């Protein structure tokens, strides 16, 4: 169906941060399939793990024990500080699991109609509950009636969450992206995350963090909440977890980890041997190849290069990000840059119409990062040199 206005190019193979199209043209991939290809393309350990696992066993069922799933759950618990994992196949399913978990948790406390605090500009997926939690009218338009039970507040503003706490006694949880991805690479302050932790503790709420896009090493630590030194009650993962093999995970700790019982939630494919083997290989490669340190260092090169070349220029609102999650916000819509970059052999994305978004694979090296800059910076400069569209700047 016509769900995407697709760019007319198809890739046939890839190697590390490079992909080739049908005509043999080579592109530098600074998007990683929207934060999915953690290890880039054609990573030998990953392809070997997938080949070996698929020759042994691809799928059984969650009716049985699954050794690869148990190993992955142990590994995720060890790196995240969480106690339990529910496996699914995507980010929206991970968020659905969290929403269901929060409601069950609320009913367990005797709250009749449990509510969840969610943020402006949030993105949690496109199923009915997750698009209702999403803070973007474009995602919701036409799908009314929305799922009720969400209390929306401004992002990165602890005072409005405190107000929600005093106004609405039915709230049982907060759902937040530590760095909003689709919403325009909006980085929350670490103090905000600590304040949210404190507020959730004092109110008996669950702190649920959606790290589907920002998590898994992209910012230099496994998870962004670890930069803030806090421990959430629920953590949601997907995108980069298995480097492109579909998988999602809802991690929980303490009381939250004991909410689901046999029969309350499930998934046919979730946590199957193939996806779990790919995730185990991804996590092992991140550790063995020092990819978190690399993400931090290369992200620093990109951010510094973009700031030096673009920050403060007329037409540039802000250059921001953390690690390999970078946004350049312009004063007006810049979707045309995606095609111009493609023409020049670079894969990027624009989100929220005005934010150039970079989400490179964690294996990008410094010379490749400099190539990203050498292609992107002149493109942005000439884009900005065009007459501004007839609309109020900084609307």
Ligand X SMILES: *Cc1c(COP(=O)(O)O)cnc(C)c1O
Residues in contact with ligand X by CB under 6 A are 90-92, 95, 123-125, 177, 181-182, 210, 212-213, 238-239
Q: Is 75 a catalytic residue?
A: no
Question: Residue 376 CB, nearest distance to ligand X (Å)?
Answer: 22
**Would you say 39 or 92 has its CB closer to ligand X?**
92
Preceding amide of 143 cis, omega within 30 = no
* Catalytic residue (choose from 29, 87, 150, 210): 210
* Phi, then psi, of 69 in degrees rounded to 5: -65, -40
User: What are the distances in angstroms from CA 164 to CA 28, 146, 158, 282?
Assistant: 45, 20, 10, 39
Rank residues 53 and 134 by Cβ distance to ligand X and give the closer one: 134
Of 18 and 123, CB closest to ligand X: 123
Q: Which residue is it, tokens 């590390």?
A: 16
Q: Is 123 a catalytic residue?
A: yes
Closest separation in Å from C-beta 214 to ligand X: 7
Question: Residue 166, exposed/middle/buried by CB under 10 A (0-12, 13-18, 19+)?
Answer: exposed
Indicate the residue among 181 and 360 with the shorter CB distance to ligand X.
Answer: 181
* Residue number, 153 or 301, with CB nearest to ligand X: 153
Q: For ligand X, give the closer residue by CB, 95 or 272.
A: 95
Shortest distance, position 180 Cβ to ligand X, whole Å:
7
Instruction: Encode burial over 303-339: b for 16+ CB neighbours within 10 A, e otherwise.
Output: bebbbebbeeeebbbbbbbbbbbbbbbbbbebeebbe
> Cα torsion at 371, 309, 324, 300 (round to 10°)?
100
Token pair belonging to 286: 């991140």
Nearer of residues 213 and 243 to ligand X, judged by Cβ? 213
CB of 239 to ligand X, least distance (A): 6
**Least spacing, CB of residue 388 vs ligand X, in Å:** 30
The least CB distance from residue 97 to ligand X, in Å, is 12
Catalytic residue, candidates 86, 87, 123, 260: 123
CA distance 236 to 220: 18
The length of the chain, given as a count of residues: 395
Alpha carbons 198 and 345: distance in angstroms, whole number: 47
Q: Is 169 a catalytic residue?
A: no
How wide is the angle at C-alpha 296 spanned by C-alphas 93 and 42, nearest 5°? 60
The residue among 90, 29, 76 whose CA lies nearest residue 239 is: 90
The distance of closest approach from Cβ of residue 182 to ligand X in the complex, given in angstroms and rounded to an integer, is 6
Helix intervals (H) in the chain: 32-35, 44-56, 67-80, 91-108, 128-133, 137-140, 158-167, 190-203, 224-227, 273-288, 291-310, 336-343, 366-385
Residue nearest ligand X, Cβ-based: 91
> Are 239 and 359 a contacting pair, CB within 8 Å?
no
Phi and psi based region of residue 41 (left: phi greater than 0; alpha: psi -120 to 50; beta: remaining)? beta
Compute CA distances 323 → 116, 299, 301, whole Å. 29, 4, 9
Which residues are tagged catalytic?
123, 210, 239
């Amino acid at each position: 169906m016509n769900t995407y206005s697709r760019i007319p190019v198809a890739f046939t193979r890839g190697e590390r941060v490079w992909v080739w199209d049908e005509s043999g043209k080579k592109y530098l991939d600074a998007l990683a399939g929207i934060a999915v290809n953690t290890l880039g393309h054609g990573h030998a350990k990953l392809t070997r793990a997938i080949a070996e696992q698929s020759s042994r066993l691809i799928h059984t069922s969650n009716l049985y024990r699954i050794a690869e799933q148990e190993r992955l759950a142990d590994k995720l618990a060890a790196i995240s500080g969480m106690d339990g994992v529910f496996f699914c196949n995507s980010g929206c399913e991970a968020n659905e699991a969290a929403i269901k978990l929060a409601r069950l948790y609320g009913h367990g406390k005797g709250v009749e109609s449990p509510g969840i605090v969610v943020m402006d500009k949030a993105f949690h997926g496109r199923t009915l509950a997750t698009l209702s939690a999403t803070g973007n009218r474009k995602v919701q338009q036409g799908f009314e009636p929305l799922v009720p039970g969400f209390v929306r507040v401004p992002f990165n503003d602890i005072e409005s969450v405190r107000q929600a706490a005093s106004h609405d006694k039915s709230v049982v949880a907060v759902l937040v992206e530590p760095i909003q991805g689709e919403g325009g690479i909006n980085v929350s302050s670490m103090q905000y995350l600590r304040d949210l932790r404190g507020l959730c503790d004092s109110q008996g709420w669950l702190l649920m963090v959606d790290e589907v896009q920002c998590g898994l090493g992209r910012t230099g630590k496994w998870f962004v909440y670890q930069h803030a030194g806090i421990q959430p009650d629920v953590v949601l993962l997907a995108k980069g977890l298995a480097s492109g093999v579909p998988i999602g995970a809802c991690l929980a700790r303490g009381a939250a980890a004991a909410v689901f019982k046999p029969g309350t939630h499930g998934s046919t494919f979730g946590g199957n041997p193939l996806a779990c083997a790919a995730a185990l290989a991804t996590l092992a490669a991140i550790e063995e190849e020092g990819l978190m340190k690399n993400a931090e260092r290369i992200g620093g090169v990109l951010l510094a290069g973009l700031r030096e070349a673009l920050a403060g220029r007329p037409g540039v609102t802000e250059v921001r990000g953390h690690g390999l999650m970078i946004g350049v916000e312009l004063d007006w819509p810049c979707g045309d840059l995606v095609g111009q970059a493609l023409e020049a052999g670079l894969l990027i994305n624009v989100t929220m119409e005005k934010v150039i978004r970079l989400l490179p694979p964690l294996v990008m090296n410094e010379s490749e990062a400099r190539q990203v800059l050498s292609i992107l910076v002149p493109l942005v400069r000439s884009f900005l040199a065009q007459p501004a569209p007839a609309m109020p700047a900084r609307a």
